[in-house]
Amino acid sequence: MWSTLSVGPAAFIGYLSISTPSSYANSYPITTVLANQLRPYSSTVLPSFIPVVVSSHPPSSSSSTISIRHSSALTMSTPTTTTTTTNNNIDGKAIAAQIRSELRQTVSTLPTPPPGLAVLLVGSRRDSQTYVRMKKKACEEVGIASFGYEYPDTATEEEIVQKVLELNQDDRVHGILVQLPLPAHMDETRVLQAVDPSKDVDGLHPMNTAKLCSTGTHVGVDKLDWTKLQSIPFHIPCTPQGCIELLDRSGVELKGKNAAVIGRSNLVGLPVAMLLMHRDATVTIVHSKTVDAEQVVRNADVVVAAVGRAEMVKKDWIKPGAVVVDVGINSVDDPSSKKGYRLVGDVDYAAVKEVAGMITPVPGGVGPMTIAMLLRNTVNSSVRIAAAKGDKDEK
Ligand code: GUN
């Protein structure tokens, strides 16, 4: 049967039940089914069907429209965490602050040394420098040790790979993040593959991608509890995880819903589609070659926009009551602003807000959640690595 991608509430429970890294035996490449029809279901949690749209990165060049289908009983899960909305706004800034506070509490209970995050920045992009600074500050806030490594644009790929390999062996470091994009002369895939998957807090190593894309529907494979993202024993990319966490903490039920993900990047589109599917939503990925993209989006209860096109998603694309998650961060000229520009999302926020059931603003929506999830992955990583080491020492 066709089923929808369901995004349900997830509770932040802490790290006591985190298991050691599982073997790679249950990793499978993603299997996709071409289609663009979604079947709506109604929600028992929200008065109306709330669609969610996630957007954020430039459209890629390849071409199939993908729907993910699966079968699942339509049961509802109960929101267990804070709902922070202003009107129909989903307040990512407040939710991320709450998560950082929870993490600070968790970190305070962990043995020393504290969780450690290494961030590699290559080149002089202003936006990347800003993001890296924000990550460092957030680490300080929750008690994570941060280790920064900066390289000029002229650095070689080999230098970066060697640094990553060194950090893989460094016991103070539980998470490694290579800020993207890398300069054009570097092979991004090679650099990302050098990161030990257990320290890949970005969730971009193919091993982590493969695990994310394993449906676990076959015999002999452990079923994961996708309603508790913090319990998943491998790293999930931060922005997609942040989107789902926002929905969960806003009481949005995903099970049985039609979800449209606009954009198919490795960083956001693909992983968020997988997460939505794991939560029993029926998912369609919309991209640059999709025929009648607007119609697909109009059928969605949840829209995630991640294409990197300023205000591309218009009001008449959105089904009334749909939940819209805007991953885009685009700079547009604005002579009236002091800086001469302002940041907007992939969604025409002011107009879409009038019809959406809920919507994330830009800034202050998904952005702060990306960093909160990076911190959470790092804390998870430190707990798992300590548990794995304990197991080894016992033997
Ligand atoms: N650049 C923009 N977003 C990201 C991200 O989530 N991870 C990394 N490594 N680089 C980015």
Three-point CA angle 253, 263, 317, nearest 5°: 65
For 72-97, how does the pLDDT look when each residue is reduced to its tens digit (9 = 90+)? Answer: 333 333 344 554 444 899 999 999 99
| Tokens representing residue 35 in the block | 């289609």
Token pair 């970190």 in the structure block, residue: 107
Domain of 47: which CATH number? Answer: 3.40.50.720
For residue 6, is it within any domain?
no
For residue 236, is it within any domain?
yes
For residue 2, is it within any domain?
no
Q: Are 362 and 306 in contact (CB under 8 A)?
A: no
For 300-347, how does the pLDDT look when each residue is reduced to its tens digit (9 = 90+)? Answer: 999 999 999 999 999 999 999 999 999 999 999 999 999 999 999 999
User: Could you tell which of 189, 193, 208, 267 is best to mutate to test the pocket of ligand 1, judged by most ligand atoms within 8 Å of the CB?
Assistant: 267
Lowest mean pLDDT among 42-46, 92-96, 111-115, 243-247: 42-46
| 201 CB near ligand 1 (under 6 Å) | no
Residue 62: what residue type? S
Kindly write down the DSSP assignment for every residue of 251-300, as one continuous string: T---TT-EEEEE---TTTHHHHHHHHHHTTBEEEEE-TT-TTHHHHHHT-
For residue 197, is it within any domain?
yes
Assign 380 to helix, strand or coil: helix
Which pLDDT value is given to residue 23?
Answer: 30
For 56-70, how does the pLDDT look when each residue is reduced to its tens digit (9 = 90+)? Answer: 443 333 445 555 544
Higher pLDDT, residue 281 or 30 = 281
Which residues constitute the domain of residue 161? 24-394
For residue 3, is it within any domain?
no
Question: How far is Cα 135 from Cα 271, in angstroms, rounded to an integer?
Answer: 21
What's the mean per-residue pLDDT of the chain? 83
Mean pLDDT to the nearest integer, 105-130: 97
Which pLDDT value is given to residue 395?
Answer: 66
172 CA distance to ligand 1 middle (Å): 22
Q: Are 324 and 56 in contact (CB under 8 A)?
A: no
Q: Are 280 and 70 in contact (CB under 8 A)?
A: yes
**Given pLDDT bands bounded at 50, 70 and 90, which one contains residue 392?**
confident
What region, left, alpha or beta, does residue 364 occupy, with left being phi > 0 and alpha being psi -120 to 50 degrees? left
Please name the residue whose Cα sits nearest to atom 9 of ligand 1: 179
177 CA distance to ligand 1 middle (Å): 8
Domain total of the chain = 1
pTM: 0.81
Token pair 């092979």 in the structure block, residue: 187
Q: Kindly tell me if the per-residue pLDDT of 177 is higher than 50.
A: yes
For residue 9, is it within any domain?
no
For residue 56, is it within any domain?
yes
86 CA distance to ligand 1 middle (Å): 28
Which pLDDT value is given to residue 66?
Answer: 56
Please name the residue whose Cα sits nearest to atom 11 of ligand 1: 180
For residue 7, is it within any domain?
no
